[in-house]
Amino acid sequence: MDSVKIGLAGAGTVGGGVCRVLNRNQEQISARAGARIEVKYVTCRHPENRSDLVPLVGSLGIDWHEIVEDPEIAIAVEAMGGIEPARSFILAAIDAGKHVVTANKALLAQHGDEIFDAAAKKGVIVAFEASVAGGIPIIKAMRESLVANRIQSVVGIINGTSNFILTSMRKEKISFAEALSKAQKLGYAEADPSFDIDGIDAAHKISILSSIAFGGPISFDKAYIEGIRDLQNVDIEFADQLGYRVKLLGITKRRGTGIELRVHPTLVPERRLLAHVGGVTNAVEVKGDAVGSTLYYGPGAGSEPTASAMIADIVDVVRMIGVSSNHQVPVLGYKRKIENVDVLPMGETVCSYYLRIGVTDSPGTLADVSRVFADMGISIESLIQKEAVAGQGSTSIVLMTHTAWEAAVQEAIRRIEALDCVTGKIVLLRKEELN
Amino acid sequence: MDSVKIGLAGAGTVGGGVCRVLNRNQEQISARAGARIEVKYVTCRHPENRSDLVPLVGSLGIDWHEIVEDPEIAIAVEAMGGIEPARSFILAAIDAGKHVVTANKALLAQHGDEIFDAAAKKGVIVAFEASVAGGIPIIKAMRESLVANRIQSVVGIINGTSNFILTSMRKEKISFAEALSKAQKLGYAEADPSFDIDGIDAAHKISILSSIAFGGPISFDKAYIEGIRDLQNVDIEFADQLGYRVKLLGITKRRGTGIELRVHPTLVPERRLLAHVGGVTNAVEVKGDAVGSTLYYGPGAGSEPTASAMIADIVDVVRMIGVSSNHQVPVLGYKRKIENVDVLPMGETVCSYYLRIGVTDSPGTLADVSRVFADMGISIESLIQKEAVAGQGSTSIVLMTHTAWEAAVQEAIRRIEALDCVTGKIVLLRKEELN
């Protein structure tokens, strides 16, 4: 049987998983791939700490240039994470005519176009299934299995850390800070959790999916991003009462004039499957005009789930070694751009809204607030007016709107916050019915 | 741009959907495939009834031999359904060196080995994504995306008709017969519904998935099959009380000594996503040792969802035209058989059980029944003894067992039914915790 040699840069959680799974399931994998996949080199900053990998791989070193310069290596696997030196490694590997497999969403979201252009010129494959939603094969599903469809929307829980925090806040009635601390203790959140909780990581991923869905360039720089740092338990409880769960969603949709691309905490009806995706698990719903609604669920991170996706990419590449590049699946699904797929400014987004408005407990308050919505052409779907706490003289109006322009809602909020009867900032959460 | 010509045999719901979606989304599809896909011929028994297709295709005829004999046709698409003439068409197309796309699970479950052997000899592709779970890309996910994994189990709601009936029985508290009649009125069940409600269709599909999961031949003839025809509302209600939903599942699992392969109504814990898959929708859960649990959800049948899967196959084939067959994905995922993957007899299956036992309302009954389970080494997990109806002198014992050998449970049932205190047949349902 043939053997294909790969070089792996990065021996952390992900790189270690790749070595372990390739080794443990070698027989299965080679029976499927038709070739034995050998890890010739692993490079990392501290090889002395990864002696556990020595029996699993050819050699363990420190310099990724060895991988790039070895003509025996057919596939360069990047599991370093971060921008540099991952970007340099990948570009050098492409330049040396090697195929590339990576899990690096941050790099692709920011430098994908440069990397994909370089790969196209060399005729090599850059595969990145593991970059979005870990072990869930969402990239392949969208790029290959849904090709017949005009995609309408992609909506996903694609950051496990945030989903764990939101699930804990709701189930255990603990604050954001407490839930974050719990996630950190369990290893689900990093010491600096901002990429996850501020929505950056989810925005990287939904930007990649948006490009595959609609055929435009990766537009991370145009995504609207709002995280969960300021989310309060009171709003999770109101949402519950109204039949919704709060989830951090990555959302991209086709509209007549362009593409919506946004990440924010979102009310999801509890009758939808996405509402029942708890803990660190991920799920992505893709709607197409022919297939209707499909959903893909599984572990969004972790050593072996990520390795599962990377090895699937490696096997795909192994099969295409020696085949002319015009037979490859196009890197973002499209061989040519076909329509206007520019990202719309957030103000032009259409959504429905949950708003919590602190008001003084005085006659006419509700009329004043309602008048602003009417003036802005925003229609109220339902309303809860919370009873005043005796002696405090203040209360909350919680309401849900029908769909409205984001810009109109922001203007309504500005006007309502200026009313005398309104106390403090209005809390805004967006809602997706997913119907 | 290149053009690829296909011939389509069968212009029913599925064939019509393929023509319509290819036509409507031609620009999208060709931008992704890098080639224009043209339906040169459609053949069906009554072309005079499908004049709606005339504007969408090259020509409409009656004789599928035209497709086979035309050297311009690269891909033969089978959407006739049934065994013959579908089998003859596919074998003739393969013999003529054409690639084949089919949605025909009954044919593949029974004659897959013959068809796949013929295709292997000719070096052509037989693609069949649409044969299992309609628009859900489960074949590709298992065959390509999960290659790194030793698959542990595949469990799915893969018959929409049955799932619709079960959902209606539970939600509307109507009998099986009423729910079936409703499904027929809505077009979700055929005039002769036996393939769907007796589990045959689900068994065709799980047999195909089992083969992809574990690498053996398609073993439909060895599947244990039990449908939903005899299911009673009282058991759906008891299951509800116990925190379970009753679903018709296709199940295949790896065990030390072989493979389990079975279809039967099953109690699923309501906290699992599969329990929330209602109506005609399908979902399949696949567990692998590296990825963990993944789930794929979507429409399991229908004109355009099925067309979505068939067109994805067509595009996959288009990309591989002119490429040597050793670069193809192996038809059932494996290039060579690697281990013992024979299907176990049902008696050697391990499962946990729901049993409803009609008993006379007399002292010692529960002790007598419990004694049999103890003798057979079967451990009781929970028990409901329903109150006697005044004056009738009979009652029901409902119990759940821990995991046990099927053969032991069947023997226990035989012995319990022989007890004087037991009235009538025992109702048995199996349970899957899916943990």
* Confidence at residue A78, expressed as pLDDT on a 0 to 100 scale: 98
State the pairing for strand pair A59-61/A73-78. Answer: unpaired
CA distance B155 to chain A (A): 14
A1 pLDDT higher than 70: no
For residue B320, give how far its alpha carbon lies from the nearest alpha carbon of chain A (Å): 6
- Within 8 A of B25 by CB-CB distance, chain A residues are 148-150, 289-290
Grade residue A139 by pLDDT with cuts at 50, 70 and 90.
very high
Task: Say if residues A102 and A82 touch (Cβ distance below 8 Å).
Answer: no
Cα B109 to Cα A272: distance, rounded to the nearest angstrom? 33
Q: Architecture of domain A346-431 in CATH? A: 2-Layer Sandwich (3.30)
Separation of first and last alpha carbons in chain B: 50
Closest Cβ–Cβ partner in B28, B309, B319 for A150:
B28
Put simply, the answer to whether A145 touches B148 (Cβ < 8 Å) is: no
CB count, 10 Å around CB of B256?
5
CA distance A287 to A253: 9
Is residue B106 a contact partner of residue B82, using CB atoms and an 8 Å limit? yes
**Among all chains, which residue has been given the structure tokens 């920011």?**
A110
CA-nearest of B5, B223, B22, B23 to B105 is B223
Confidence (pLDDT) at B435: 79
How far apart are the CA of A327 and the nearest CA of chain B, in angstroms? 5
- CA dist B179 and A282 (Å) reads 35
Cβ-contact B104, B86 below 8 angstroms: yes
**Of A109-123, A249-263, B99-113, B358-372, minimum mean pLDDT range:** B358-372
Any chain A CB within 8 A of the CB of B171? no
CA angle centred on B241, ends B239 and B243, rounded to 5°: 70
The chain B residue lying nearest A27, using CA atoms, is B338
Minimum CA–CA partner of A296 in chain B:
B296
B312-351 exposure pattern, b = at least 16 Cβ within 10 A, e = fewer? bbbbbbbbbeebeeeebbbbbbbbeeeeebebbebeebeb
pLDDT digits (tens, 9 = 90+) for A26-74: 999 999 999 999 999 999 999 999 999 999 998 999 999 999 999 999 9
Interface of A with B in 189-208 (CB under 8 A): none
Q: What is the CATH number of domain B138-299?
A: 3.30.360.10
pLDDT for A202 equals 98
Angstrom CA distances, B268 to B230, B263, B287, B430, stand at 18, 14, 16, 9
Q: Choose among A322, A310, A324: nearest CA to A74.
A: A322
Residue B391 pLDDT: 64
Residue B9: the pLDDT is 98
Identify the bridge partners of residue A4 per DSSP, sorted by sequence position. A37
Q: What is the ipTM of this complex?
A: 0.95
Share of residues in chain A with pLDDT > 90 (%): 90
Reply yes or no on whether the pLDDT at A388 is more than 90: no
Kindly state whether A23 is in contact with chain B, defined as any CB-CB distance less than 8 angstroms.
no
**Helices A160-172, A176-185: inter-axial angle, 10-degree rounding:** 120
Per CB-CB distance under 8 Å, the chain B contacts of A292 are: 135, 298-299, 302, 304-305
- State the average pLDDT for chain B: 94
State how beta strands A126-127 and A99-102 pair. parallel
Q: Is A48 annotated as a binding residue?
A: no
What pLDDT sits at residue B216? 87
Closest to A295 (Cβ–Cβ): which among B129, B297, B305? B297
CATH superfamily for B351-431 is: ACT domain (3.30.70.260)
Among candidate residues B358, B359, B373, the one with its CA nearest the CA of residue B412: B373
CA dist B387 and B389 (Å) reads 6
**Across chain A, which distance is largest between two alpha carbons, in Å?**
83
pLDDT the model gives residue B231:
97
- Partners of B245 in beta bridges: B268
Cα–Cα distance for residue pair B279/B159, rounded to 1 Å: 10
Domain ranges of chain B: 2-135+303-327, 138-299, 351-431
Tokens representing residue A251 in the block: 């959302």
Token pair for residue A317?
Answer: 């590449």
- In angstroms, the separation between the Cα of residue B230 and the nearest Cα of chain A is 29
Provide the token pair at A138. Answer: 């969402």
Provide mean pLDDT across the span A340-353: 92
For residue B330, which residues of chain A lie inside 8 Å, CB to CB? 32, 34
Average pLDDT along chain A: 95
A10 in a labelled binding site: yes
Nearest to B146 among A312, A319, A337 (CB): A312
Q: Is A11 annotated as a binding residue?
A: yes
Q: Given pLDDT bands bounded at 50, 70 and 90, which one contains residue A132? A: very high
Name which of A17, A34, A148 is nearest B311 (Cβ-Cβ).
Answer: A148
- Counting one residue from A and one from B, how many pairs have CB atoms under 8 Å apart? 210
For position A371, what pLDDT does the model report?
95
In what helix (H) or strand (E) does residue A291 lie, and over which residues does it extend? none
The mean-pLDDT minimum among A334-338, A399-403, B7-11, B174-178 falls in A334-338
Active site residues of A: 205
List the binding residues of B. 9-16, 105, 190
Q: Does A256 touch chain B (CB under 8 A)?
A: no
Which residues of B fall within a CB distance of 8 Å from A24? 289
HSE-CB of A106 using CA atoms within 13 angstroms: 15
Instruction: Using a CB–CB cutoff of 8 Å, tell me whether A135 touches chain B.
Output: yes
A265 touching chain B per CB within 8 A:
no
Q: Using the beta-carbon criterion (under 8 Å), do B299 and A291 form an inter-chain contact?
A: yes
Quote the tokens at residue A66.
């060895």
What are the C-alpha distances in Å from B241 to residues A210, B59, B234, B267? 43, 58, 11, 12
CA B415, CA B422: separation in Å to the nearest integer?
10
Fold of A2-135+303-327: Rossmann fold (3.40.50)
pLDDT of B31 reads 93
**DSSP conformation class of A387:** P
Q: Using CA atoms, how far apart are residues B257 and B341, in angstroms rounded to an integer?
A: 8
**Closest to B31 (Cβ–Cβ): which among A215, A288, A295?**
A215
Q: Domain A139-299, what fold?
A: Dihydrodipicolinate Reductase; domain 2 (3.30.360)
Kindly indicate the confidence band of residue A8, based on its pLDDT and cuts at 50, 70 and 90: very high
Q: Beta-carbon neighbour count of residue A404 at 10 Å?
A: 19
Q: Does B145 touch chain A (CB under 8 A)?
A: yes
Do the Cβ atoms of B33 and A304 come within 8 Å?
no
For A166-178, the pLDDT digits (tens) are 999 999 999 999 9
Which pLDDT score, from 0 to 100, does residue A102 have? Answer: 98
Low-confidence ranges of chain B (pLDDT < 70): 1, 338-340, 388-392
Distance separating alpha carbons of residues B13 and B248, to the nearest angstrom: 25
Q: Which residues contact B205 (CB under 8 A, 6 or more apart)?
A: B105, B109, B131, B132, B133, B156, B158, B159, B250
Cα–Cα dist A179/A126, whole Å: 37
- What is the identity of the amino acid at A41? Y
pLDDT at B52: 93
